[in-house]
Structure formats: C-alpha cells, structure tokens
Chain A
Amino acid sequence: MKKAESKPPQADLWTRWVGWLERNAATAFLLPTVLVILAFVLFPLVGALYSSLARLRFSDGGLELSFVGLANYRKLLLGSEQGHFLGRPGTTDWVLGVLALMALALGVVMYRRWRARRPFSVWLVQPLLGGLLLMAFTWLLLSRLLPGTHMGTLQTTLFYVTVGTALQYLLGLGLALLCAERLPGTRFFRILFILPLAITPIGVAYMFRMLTDTGKGPLVPLWEALGLGGFSWVNDPWGARLAVLIGDVWQWTPFAFIVLLAALQSVPQEQIEAAAVDGASRWQVFRHIIFPHLLPASATLVLIRLIEGFKIVDLPNILTNGGPGTATESITLHAYFAWRTLDIGTAAALGFLLMLLVSLVTSLYAAWVLPRARGQL
C-alpha cells in the first residue's frame, strides 16, 4: 500500500490505462477493422439494395428514381432478360437421365438417414433443400450445353470461375514448388512470375486484345501454320471464352503463386529431411508433408479467387465486348452494360443475384471445404 501511495498519481493512471488495454486486448485488436468496414460498407449496401428495387426515369426536372418493387428481379428471372441471364435451355434424354440418377441418389440418402432414426431436419429438410438446389443447378448448366441452346451470363461466369480458379491454383502451385527448390536463378523466376499482377486489369485486357488480334496480332503466323488462317476466334463462342480464360489465368496465377510461395517457407524442413532419409519418394514427400501443410493457405486463396472471379468484367468487356452475341458476357459485365444504359435497377438486381449465388457458394465452401482443409474435421 505504501508503495502505491508513493507513486505520483499520473503513473497510477498510466498503469491503470495499460491494465485496461491489456484486459481488452481482444476488442482492441478486432474492433477498428469492424468499425471501419461497417462505417463505409453499410450505406453503399443499403443504397444499392434500394436501387435494385427502383427504376431510373426521365422526368420534367431530369432524372427520377421511382420504386418498382421486385420488377427488376422478375424481369431477370422470368421476363424479357431471362434468356440473357439464365440462357435458353434444350432438353434431351441424357440430361433427364442425369437428373433422374441424382433424384435416385437423393432418395437413397434420405431413406438411409430415416432408417438410422436421425432427427427430422437431418433426414428430410436438409437433403431435400440441398438436393433440389443441386439438381436445379445441374439442369441450369447441362441444359445450356446442348447444341442449339444458348448460355446465359450465369453459365458463362460459372465457366470462367471454376475453370479459371482451378487452372490458376494448379499452375501457381506448380510454379511455387519449382521456385521453392533452392536452385540457382529461382530468385529471377520469383520476380518474373509476380509481374502479371503488376499490370492493371484493364491494361491486361487491352494487351490481350493486341495479342489475339486476328489481323496484326503476333500469333497470326502460328494460326496460319496450324491451318486456322481463316478462322476467327472472335466469331466462335468457345474460342472467345477461351481467350478470356487465358487472359484471366495469365493475370491471376501469380496470386496463387505468391501466396503458396510464402506458405511453403514454413514447411517443417526436419520432417522432409527425415522422410528423405527414410527413403520416401519426392511424390510421397509432397503428398504427405508439403501438401497438407499448404492446405489452409490453399483453401483461403481458392475462396478469395472464387469470390473475385465471379466479378470478372474488364477482360470480356475490352477483349470481346461480351461477344460474339453474349457468349463471353459475365454477370458483372451484364450489369455493367445495363448500368451504362442508365438501367441502374437491373444492374443492382444482377449484383444482388450474384451476391446471393456467391454467398451460397461461399457458405457451402465454408461448411465443407474450410474445416477439412484446416484439419478441424
């Protein structure tokens, strides 16, 4: 007690302040981020949500935003924009067959859970909701791949996201593993492989427009040598999609590369050495030591790329302008085109439908993939 009295009151205040900070460290570390995000995200979110329920009209005094309820959503899902957004379906026996098989599998799962006397929600509600959603999605994808049908911006976006993310991850992983080998010159390659990220996405898009130009691009002689001289990828839907995909992979593989390269630095070297001494092959070392160690970072980077990939817009916009027709148009580009014609309501509605879809994908990913990748399941 005497010691405390002899201290000047300021120091006492200081120690109390430090003690308070220490007790509330958990809040102090997290709260700034949460507050900053809330402060700047809520208003745009609410504003965008309102504009998705409204339509911009020209009136006497200029522009006027009028409330139209769910009309924008109805137009996209059921009305005049349905073919553009969801595509035009065709049906053949094998698509129906696939759906029937899925229904059968769903039935088996539900029956087995019912026999095992699982709770009501586990045997009926969950599989029914999940299964029907999955079947609807399968139909939405397969029925648009048949000849004579037409892919909407939804299917095109899903193509870019799934194939693009997979390619970026695999290439990035391969390059990171190669660069983590301590060979002379890998430092040069490390810098080199980061370069594509340093170019602004619009720049990349213009660059690929130069490269894929069918008249004066550098690849023209190559195509002629391959007998594709008269062929124009611009007029071929899959050729154009492939061009967009290659541009996307070129730009974003470095993201996977740099994240995995950093994660590789903390792989336990002693384990690798011990395994090598015990005669493990390089594949075994990778499969059982390195890869499990990379899983958490991999799961994170795939999630980030999934979320970002759904927003792809610059490449298809500048490279192909969404064409031929709407073959390379992504959902975001669809929204951008609507927005450019002052159809702000449709643009916002597309944005929120995309948000719904990505949230669904993200929550499935968070429930199934993340815990397993982190070793929590």
Chain B
Amino acid sequence: MSRPRSPLAPSPWQVGLTYLALGLASLFVLFPLYWLLITSFKLPVDVNSGPFYLPWVDFKPSLHAWEYVLGTLGPDVQRAYANTAVVALSSALLALFLGTSAAYALTRFQYRPRVGAIVLFIACLVLTVALVALGMPWPSAVGLGLAGFILGLQTLGKRFRKHLGNDEIALWLISNRILPPVVVVIPIYLLFQQLGLLDTRTALIISYTVINVPIAVWLMRDYFQNIPQDIEECAQIDGASRYRIFWTIVLPLAAPGLVATFLLLLVFAWNEYLLALFLSKANSQTMPLMVAAMSGTRGTEWWYMSAIILLMILPVVILALVLERYIERGLIVGAVKG
C-alpha cells in the first residue's frame, strides 16, 4: 500500500522532467569548465593540433602547466592570491556593511532630500572646479566649496520646499555604476596618486567597496522589504534601540539575502580587472591580472591560463559550499509564529 501523494509533491513525471532540465543546464555549465580542466593538463602540442577530449585516451596528461604555475611562478601566484583574497574579502564585507545599513535605512525611514540642497551642492561643485581651473591649489578650493555648501544650506536651505524621496536616493546610488570604468580609470589613478595609495591593497579595497555598495543596497532593499515589520515594532515597544533591532533581529532574518549578496559582492571584487590593472604594479597585483598576463608576447598560453583560472575558482567554490546552506527558508516563518 502506497501512501496517498500530498497535493504539493510533484508527480514522477515532473520529477523526471526536472532532473532532465537540471541535467541539460549542468551540461551547459560544466562543459566549458571541463575543457578548462583538461586544457590545464595538456601539452602545448596537444592543444595546438586539434580537439582532444579525453585524457589517457586522446592525449597523455601532463603536469607541466601546474608545475610552472605553482613552481616557477609560485611566489608571484602566492602574492597575487593573498592580495586577491584580502582585497575581495575586506571590500565585500565593507560594502555589505555599508550597503545593508543604507538598504535598511531606505526601507524603514522616509527621507526628503531637498531639491534646493542638491542644486546648491552642484553649484558649489562647479565653483570648486572653476577655482581649481583658475589655479587655486585643490585642498583650499575643496575647503572653500564645502564651506560654501554648508553656509548656503544653513541660510538658504530652509527656504526650499520641493523634495525628492527614497526611490530617488536609491536610483542615484545605482547610477554611479553607469559610467564604463575605462572612462574613469585615469581620474581614479590620479586620485589615488594624490592620496599616495598607488600599488597598495587599500586603494583596491576602497575602490571595490565604492563600486559595489550600490549593488548591495539594491539587493538588500528587496530582502528587507519582505521582512514583516511587526516583529521590529514589538521590539521597539520593548525598548530595543534601532541599532539593536537591526543587528539582532533584522540581519538574522535577512540571512538568505545577506549570504547571496555577500557571495555576489565577493565574486565581483574577486574578478575585477581594469581598476586592478591601473592601481597596482607589483605589490598589490591580483589574480585576474595573472590570467591576462598569460596572453602576452608568446601568444596565448592556454595551458597556464587554464590552470590559473582553475586556481581562482577553487576558493569561491569552497566558500559557496560553506555558505550555500544559509540560503534556506524557514527563519521568517519561525519568528512570526514564535
């Protein structure tokens, strides 16, 4: 006697179709990775003389690429690896911290930035630029512009009535990602040159945090919106501060979103290329630069490149394995009922 099926459980048919679709998608995902893997075990002659598919059958696998990457290139790879790990982890955590608090703010408070204040800010910015163009040293010009803005805000600011809302703030945040990096690399280079941070990890951490914060804000905003606010209201009545509510109630409830967002921020920083190319020379070189370096004057050395790409994937896979379990349902349901 078989148990009657629950109306929610899929029929065997549907299970079969599900696995078929998942299998096809896996093939699409895995085949390029498989090709990378076997390429890293091929001799140059095996890569260059036509497609060979199976190790030991089509070609004799060789460890030469791995020996080169881990041996000859070892110190360089190690340094790049450490740099990438430090830069990606710190900037992802920083961006996550800033982004979640801003996202929480944008879902729980009502902001009314005044149009007049924004116009005033832009006017002061133009003034500063004009002063620098006229030959004033930039620290005093920036100081003057800032002073003008604050003074104007205190005196004129009260007169403006028209204001924007939270959605406009969020749009402004994401709009900072619109300009393609190639256009801004030279000014960014000059900026970090002025700050004396060229070829340091700090420069990379700062720039990755700044570029990734808007993504964190946008993703976390949706997850926060899905969290029922009555729990927070209860806590507020019980006397908990905003910060405590955020830290001990909201963040744990948003765990699936937090983990997904953290993973995304991490891989974005992990993989960034163009800014790293400009802001680092030897000390703070990151792994994507190593990948690109394998295509140089001697043509593209596919075997070395494949090995380095695989080395780059490994930590992300381990991290995904560890963190994936937190992208799970259940927390919110329990909290509401309890």
Contact = CB atoms under 8 A, between A and B. Distances in A.
Interface stretch (A1-9, A26-34, A77-85, A230-238): A26-34
Interface in B182-234: 182-184, 186-188, 190-191, 206-207, 209-210, 213-215, 217-219, 221-223, 225-226
Interface in A23-48: 25-26, 29-30, 32-34, 36-37, 40-48
A215 B214 CA distance: 43
Interface in A326-377: 331-332, 335-336, 339, 344, 347-348, 350-352, 354-355, 358-359, 362-363, 366, 370, 374
Interface stretch (B44-52, B62-70, B71-79, B151-159): B44-52
A347 B8 CA distance: 56
A347 B179 contact: no
Contact of B264 (A21, A47, A192, A255): A255
Query: At the interface, is chain B mostly helix, strand, loop or mixed?
Result: helix
B218 A300 contact: yes
Contact of B317 (A175, A198, A273): A198
Contact of A191 (B18, B272, B324): B324
Interface in B92-114: 98-99, 101-102, 104-106, 109, 111
A43 B193 CA distance: 13
Given A183-B15, A210-B302, A45 B179 contact: yes
Interface stretch (A108-116, A143-151, A261-269): A261-269
B169 to A, nearest CB: 8
Contacts of B188: 44
Contact of B35 (A201, A211, A304): A211
Contacts of B39: 210
A259 B246 CA distance: 22
A118 B30 CA distance: 58
Contact of B8 (A52, A272, A332, A374): A272
Interface size class of B (residues with CB under 8 A): 35 or more
B176 A37 contact: yes
Interface string B245-282: 01000000000110110011001001111000000000
- Interface-centre pick from B180, B295, B302 (highest chain A CB count, 10 A): B180
Contacts of B300: 206, 209
23 contacts: A32-B102, A46-B187, A187-B324, A192-B26, A195-B33, A200-B271, A201-B273, A206-B295, A209-B300, A218-B35, A250-B28, A258-B327, A259-B264, A261-B260, A262-B257, A266-B226, A279-B7, A300-B221, A332-B182, A339-B183, A347-B183, A354-B180, A359-B175
Interface of B: 7-8, 10, 14-15, 18-19, 21-22, 25-26, 28-33, 35-36, 39, 47-51, 53, 98-99, 101-102, 104-106, 109, 111, 125, 129, 167, 169, 171, 173-184, 186-188, 190-191, 206-207, 209-210, 213-215, 217-219, 221-223, 225-226, 241-243, 246, 256-257, 259-260, 263-264, 267, 270-273, 287-288, 291-292, 295, 300, 302, 305, 309, 312-313, 316-317, 320-321, 324-325, 327-330, 332-333
